[in-house]
A and B are shown apart, each in its own frame.
Chain A
Amino acid sequence: MKRTRFFQIFAAGLFAVAALPVLAADEELPKAEKVIDRFIEATGGRKAYEKHHSEVASLTMEFPGKGIKATGIRYTDTSNNSLETFTIEGIGKVDSGVQNGVAWESNVITGARVMTGSEKADRLRAANFNAPLHWRELWKSAETTALETVDGEECYLVVMTAAEGKPETNYYSKVTGLLVKQKRVVASPMGELPIEILAKDYREFDGIKMPTKLTQIAAGNEIQITVDNVKYNTLISADRYEPPADIKKLLAK
């Protein structure tokens, strides 16, 4: 729920990280909604979010030690449609998107497919524009469960549970209110993949603070993501969200 948009973008990546020591909390934990509301305020506030009706984000990805790089762009707007298009050096294009409640992927390696089940549910949540404002609609429940440190920073753990799919845990800084880590299980046709995402270097883009350095770890593989730019309120044509021909053919079957 209260992940930033970028956490949603990279949710399907491949990663995992070191477990951190649990601190004994000798104080009463704040309610989840309070932590989430604080996150919204810390990243710019409800009004700043509501000023925007579209978002185009560009980023670069690197697989440390493996010499693999990729670039990507994500388009999304208040229609709750989205398109993510990545170009991986030596591989080619991997596109995915949501259009009118259909979630799809067109992958140069594995081909085209339409998402189902909890994978689809996850992608639809991720496509929700200004998702932090809509967490009550997107998640069945949210509960603050503990206080832990992440890189020396005390964080509230908020467990978000959806109607479909496994719960995810968000780590919000006690001091800044920002989201600094997320642990979740990504559903995919190949099986469930536990991932951890660390977020750093928050930067403001048109009134909204975004993490610009993300580290995702899953199955021992690490990806470093840098958010290069975010543009709001640019005109995104509805055609942008049209799935490719192969997806349309699969849907017609």
Chain B
Amino acid sequence: MRFLVVLTLLSLSVPAAELTPSQRKLNADSFEYAWKTIQDKMWEPMPAGLDWQKVHDELLPKVQEAKTMAEARGVMRDMISRLHMTHFSIVPSDIYDTVGAKARGDGAPGFEVRVLDGAAVVTRVDEGSPAAQAGVKAGWQIVSIDGKPLEDGLKRVAAAYEKSTTRELILARGVLASLSGAEGEKIKVEFLDGNDGRVPLELKLTAPRGGETKFGYLPMQHVYFEQKKIGNTGYIHFNMFLDPQRISSQFGDAVQSCFKCDGIIIDLRGNPGGLGGMSMGMAGWFISSTDKRLGVMKMKGQNLDFRVFPKPDVYGGPVVMLTDGLTGSTSEIFEGGMKDLGRAHIIGTRSAGAALPSMFEKLPNGDGFQYAIANYISEGGQPLEGIGVIPDEEVKLTRKALLAGHDPAVDAARAWIQKQKDKR
């Protein structure tokens, strides 16, 4: 999603044009559509306890009077922000169309970032990427991007989201947004290396890791899957629950190739989710009972059980799932359910608490509209929204460990799997 943020920023530089009467009408129609959709789809009788009609009556005139698209969009965003829920958004049409056709501005330097103790730190460098070729290492700290220091901005954002489970997510995405641009562009990044020496680099932006995947009106996404063995422990990592033909199949192959492993680590750190149903299929590789579910999706007048669909052959050994503040939505449904069913040990930091199932539609004015259609309650009885998956074992990533070539969460996972083996 980071390119959405980038393009949002880019769009701010475009001079605002005065709206024509027909554009104003389309904006009003869009407002009505979004307002009614929320009213119809919200699982609570009163959306977020609000008098929804009052919200309508207050804001509709403002949309009708808006002189620019930005102003009209601002009113619509005001409406949805009052819900205080994730998975509600308005995406400007230019961004929506651009990324929908071909992700321009989707270039990345080839590394992942987390904000650790107030500093933006490289946590993983993609093999063969411009960053890898330039010698960037996990554990390096990002000091500035295109000459702009990060520290103050990070402090301000961290303070603004102090009590939110999505703080880690927002901080990391903010940094990644600043690192993005059109493929082929160059970006100046100043790092602190392992000895805290300043390393200024100019990095070329390339296509993000993974194969392109398009689903409906969702913007183009890049999805990758990796598996490896660490000793006799299987390790699986993928960045999104999309492209099921490829990802579910590779996931199944990875589990089957590890039936004799001491344990399996499923690393969902940084995975923001995707198609919810994929979690039910994947859980079926580890649970043989046909009467289990990961949780329940509560929609308006309707509940849907997230059933586990057991495979013909199931892995019965220990499973560890890794989580962090960028683990969201379907990842949380999968981890939360596996935890509640006692089938996985969760290691890492609390997930994003952003688990509302949502749809993406095009509004009459061309903007994209994302809206949640349900609440999700994990099998343990707790909603995931705003709470997240609480790890069984909290293990924080540190710059020191990364510089030493360690991933503390993976280390803890291997140690736990070894303990289970010793117990047997």
Contact = CB atoms under 8 A, between A and B. Distances in A.
Interface of A: 63, 65-68, 89-93, 107-113, 189-191, 193-194, 219-220, 246, 249-250, 252-253
Nearest to B313: A249
A106 to B, nearest CB: 11
A109 B277 contact: yes
Contacts of A67: 216-217, 362
B311 A246 contact: yes
Given A193-B304, A246-B311, 15 more contacts: A63-B216, A65-B361, A66-B217, A66-B359, A67-B217, A68-B216, A89-B216, A90-B215, A91-B245, A109-B275, A109-B280, A113-B309, A189-B309, A190-B307, A219-B373
Nearest to B302: A219
B213 A90 contact: yes
A220 B245 contact: no
B266 to A, nearest CB: 16
Given A190-B307, A220-B40, A111 B281 contact: yes
Contacts of B299: 219-220
Given A92-B245, A190-B304, A246-B312, A107 B216 contact: no
Contacts, number: 89
Interface in B215-269: 215-217, 242-245, 248-249
B280 to A, nearest CB: 5
Contacts of B215: 68, 89-91
Interface residues of B, number: 36
B244 A92 contact: yes
Contacts of A89: 214-216
- The binding surface of chain B is classed by DSSP as mixed
B52 interface: no
B376 interface: no
Contact of A110 (B40, B216, B277, B360): B277
A110 B280 contact: yes
B284 interface: yes
Contacts of A110: 277-278, 280-281, 284, 309
Interface string B13-40: 0000000000000000000000000001
Interface in B52-98: none
Contact of B41 (A108, A111, A220, A252): A220
A252 B312 CA distance: 9
A253 B244 CA distance: 26
B340 interface: no
B205 to A, nearest CB: 25
A27 B355 CA distance: 53
Contact of B214 (A90, A194, A249): A90
B281 A109 contact: yes
